[in-house]
Amino acid sequence: MLLDTQETTISSHSSIVNHGSKNYNSSNTAKSIEVIKRNGKSAPLDISKIRKVVDWACNGKDVNSIALESGLKTRLRHGITTREIQDNLINCALEMCNLEEPDWRYVAGRLHIWSLWKDTLVTRGYNYGNYAQTVANFVKEGKYDQRILTYSAAELEEANSWINPDWDLDYDYAGVVLLSSRYLLPQELPQEAFLTCSLLLAMVESPEVRLSYARKFYEAIASRRISLATPILANLRVPKGSLTSCFIVSIDDNLESIFQEITNTARISKNGGGVGVNVSRIRATGSSVMGKKNASGGVIPWIKLLNDTAIAVNQGGRRAGAVTVGLDIWHLDVPEFLEMQTENGDQRRKAYDVFPQLILPDEFMRRVKDKQEWTLVDPFEVKNVLGIDLPPLWGAEFEGAYSIIEANLGTKIKIYKKVNARELFKHIMRAQVETGMPYLAFKDTINKANPNKHDGYIPGVNLCTESFSNVTPGKYAHCCNLVSLNLANLENHETQSICELAVRILDNTIEITLPPFGDAKAHNDRYRTIGVGAMGLADWLAKQNLRYSNLSQISNLFEDIGYYCTCASMALAKERGAYPAFEGSDWSKGLLIGCQSVEWFEENAYDKPRWRQLADDIQEFGIRNSHITAIAPNTSSSLVQGCTASVLPVYSRFFYDKWAKGTVPIAPPYISDKNWFYQENKHLNQEEVVKAIAVIQQWIDTGISMELLFNLNEGVYFPDEPERALKAKDIYDTLILSWEKGCKAVYYVRIVQRDSFKEECTACAN
């Protein structure tokens, strides 16, 4: 234990090095300085204690501890508090952090942990070592869910022996600040949070094995091989916390459904979830209402209500609610939908706080390529006049219905507008360049890969575009629990066991979560949707001197992940039973990830025989979860995990981010010795990114949060043409390529622009 008294002591695992520097404690200046300790008492300044802390924080890192001491000594004054000394040390370390000496961010992280340990010691009287007492106190104070008392005092004492405080020392400054400010409860230490989550996740296991699984969960989570999604890590320990990350609801064309789903959106927001709301069924502007022609105000007024709900129900004061609103591209209100976040026009028909998404069928994309006409229609009129319910249709069914609609324009169909598909797509692109949105969801690609076609359809995507499944208004609302594999910390031989643990953690989460409304619980029970994702691909590539153009190696990695996760869900079905909607699903027909045949896997996989055996096993035993893998953006979680976000290239090898605590250095973990192999996304041709994501998508059964980053400066992508900058057609070609290559969605489109004063990234996620 590093801190076992109120005095500063150093544990036996820390190496204390005497640098032979000046003995400041013997100087007259040091003798005259009184320090105010955390307990309020004063004592003479003891430089040797500071030196011990500095040496401990710098131990094993490629930094010079004397430089940190030298930076601090000019800041000492009479009456300074130990907290101020610690903060000054942290600031000194952060100021010295740069691309040549990036390890200073780890020194600052350790110093922050030191302060956390000291504060905890002062406020509750002990640090690590008395976990059972912490549990008892936190349950009594209402901080911990009483379900932790499923475990006996003896079991909690055994769990206490697993705690490894050294894992607290692996965080850089950005990671530990986020961890302590966003996820830890007052007077709670990091390993206690991870251990409590692990015990709760294991409590659905049978008594004879639950401690064994709890330990496996703890070691995978605490060593940062598995990253729990924010709702799980933040809410699992607290009473009545919702653990689900992603939701999708769909609104029917009536007042009851509209206000019911607005209420459900509020419930989701209250519990910290993100939600996708599909509004394609709502009648268009100018449609009839109660027999009165031209009475409908269209989708925008209802979107505005969703917008205001997101602001009002602000996730317990932490941040505004997060709502993406989806509209099919054939809807008559699409042009106004694209303008609802511009400054000009009627402010009563604006919605600045939602995230728009457009749902695009293949037929629209083909017409974009061919510069053909596209027809915008009112779903209410189409259903009333032609008996065609357009929103659920995709693929050949949609194309057949759409041709019937277009054949009746001007006769039976009166409310419509014809536009050039290419020009409409340009309008979409302009909005993306200006605001980063709308997100794009490729409806046919998504639904072709839906294993539950027999039981419904997927209307759109969730807030981060990676998670989706069947949604039925008033019956089933998509909900999904997420974790991510940290590829930066994962060795190849660990992939199978970590994938198995990740699937088990999420299946257990379904059992213990408290969905915020009935339709979400019904979906949870019927489909058991989970999402095992990945982060740190850029780090995994850097470790092996690979680049994003090494598609075969990337494919092999994600083939393993896809196989092991799918196999784990099959094994759980063997143990616990298949998900209730399994019969009739594509899984039950012998199809595998992406609803591809076994023959496809035998042609495209690097390890071919295992896929046929897996298909046979799933047909015999079923599969526990209808959707298993999904790769989220992980923008904040990756900082806590100490890796690059998601599967995308790092934005920059080293940069400072502006936080409330000042500027914080951000860099990937292997930057010091692998600089060249980190490809900076701001300089990388995005077609290369799209091709890599498309390869990964083959092995991921749900979706991937694919951001695209376009640098508009001259000479970035065309070294032989230094005056050439990216053109609109280049962005167009990349978006078309993402559809053609089988990507399921496009998340944010981000733009890098530079003037003579600064380089900035606009329209960024998070």
Distance set, CA 199 to CA 130, 151, 219, 244, 592 (Å): 16, 8, 12, 18, 33
Q: Which residues contact 365 (CB under 8 A, 6 or more apart)?
A: 442, 736, 739
The answer to whether the bond into 438 is cis (omega within 30° of 0) is yes
368 token code pair: 């974009």
Q: Indicate the DSSP class of residue 107.
A: H
384 is catalytic: no
Contact call for residues 405 and 382 (beta carbons, < 8 A):
yes
Q: Which amino acid is at 219?
A: E
Closest Cα partner for 156 from 110, 202, 125? 202
Closest Cα partner for 429 from 763, 56, 12, 151? 763
| Rg (alpha carbons) of the chain, rounded to whole number | 28
Closest Cα partner for 185 from 134, 254, 115? 134
Distance set, CA 219 to CA 148, 167, 199 (Å): 18, 10, 12
- 77/14 Cα distance (integer angstroms): 28
Q: β-pairing, 246-250 with 274-278?
A: parallel
Residue 274: its H or E element: strand 274-278
Identify the three-state secondary structure at position 152: coil
- 492/540 Cα distance (integer angstroms): 10
Q: Which amino acid is at 635?
A: T
Closest Cα partner for 482 from 704, 249, 276, 177? 704
- 684/703 Cα distance (integer angstroms): 22
Q: Indicate the DSSP class of residue 262.
A: H
- 453/434 Cα distance (integer angstroms): 36
Residue 407: its H or E element: helix 395-407
Residue corresponding to tokens 């072709």: 448
Q: Which residues contact 757 (CB under 8 A, 6 or more apart)?
A: none
What secondary structure does DSSP assign to 460-522, as a single string? Answer: ---TTSS-----BTTTB-EEEEEEEEETTS--GGGHHHHHHHHHHHHHHHHHH---SSHHHHH
Q: Which residues contact 54 (CB under 8 A, 6 or more apart)?
A: 65, 68, 69, 72, 89
Sign of CA dihedral 130, 135, 138, 140: negative
Catalytic residue among 271, 307, 447, 462: 462
Q: Indicate the DSSP class of residue 39.
A: T
Contact call for residues 261 and 233 (beta carbons, < 8 A):
no
Q: β-pairing, 749-754 with 708-711?
A: parallel
Catalytic residue among 464, 479, 595, 643: 464
Report how far Cα 439 is from the mean position of its chain's Cα atoms. 16
Share of the chain residues as helix, strand and coil, in percent rounded to the nearest 5: 45, 15, 40
464 is catalytic: yes
743 is catalytic: no
Residue corresponding to tokens 């009287």: 125
Catalytic residue among 466, 500, 559, 707: 466
Closest Cα partner for 38 from 86, 82, 76? 82
| HSE-up (13 A, CA, CB side) for residue 763 | 24
Contact call for residues 379 and 281 (beta carbons, < 8 A):
yes
Query: Active-site positions?
Result: 462, 464, 466
